[in-house]
A = this chain, B = another copy of it.
Amino acid sequence: MFIENIPALENSKSPSLEVCLTPALLSLYNVENYIVVIIDIFRATSSICYGIENGAEAIIPVAQVEECVAYREKGTGYLLAAERDGSVVDGFDFGNSPFSYTAEKVSGKTVVLTTTNGTQALHLSRKAKKVVIGSFLNLTALSNWLKVQNENILLVCAGWKNNFNLEDTAFAGAVIDQLKASGQYTLDDPAIAAYDLYQLAKGDIPAYLSKTSHGERMRKLGIEKDIAFCLNVDITTAIPILDGEKLVKLV
């Protein structure tokens, strides 16, 4: 572009509804002006939503396996979740499959889990007004809560190795699809794109996402069942929210 110094969404009085397509672009936003929704559909934020729904007292996301191990020394109250190359890391309680986050396993417990992109997105978003977790599992509950906040909303896609991915963007579009009807928001270009992509996906989300390079990687790792589970819409109502280092239940 030739033109400089024109702020995005200038002069708009309605709250803005924007999408940050990867954590690598998060520095372009003043996160303190937004409620941030972290999105990492395969599989971090889906597992988190499922775990909080199933009564986990808290979930603590960390970047490295080593940080996870450090919690072992803090006491016996922690369940440690870590996975590398599709297998549970030796000595950990479970891996990163959402099926590990059943009530039987996590109720009343604090789970420490390693994620990569999801953790980075969370860390970079700490100064936001609020940081909540989104997945297809809690789509409508999350959207209904967002609707009544009357705040700027930034949907942050964790992406894939700091780049754009289709599944996180499609979910951002699903949230926009629910919020847009109220007509109160100003959308930025990434939000318009996410919304449009979701219109293509919504009739059959698994089919739409199966064409991605990502889908192929998942199949090779043998976690098709996890992927299918993460695309279940509205099977939970809990909204995990960041409280210090921990994700806890907001509603």
Contact = CB atoms under 8 A, between A and B. Distances in A.
A71 interface: no
Interface residues of A, number: 54
| Chain multiplicity (copies) | 2
A169 B193 contact: yes
A6 interface: yes
Nearest to A215: B189
Contacts of A9: 213
Contacts of A197: 193, 196-197
A219 B43 CA distance: 42
A190 interface: yes
Contacts of A189: 160, 163-166, 212-214
20 contacts: A1-B42, A1-B43, A1-B161, A2-B42, A3-B86, A3-B221, A8-B161, A9-B213, A24-B24, A24-B25, A25-B164, A164-B189, A164-B190, A164-B193, A165-B189, A166-B192, A189-B213, A189-B214, A193-B193, A196-B200
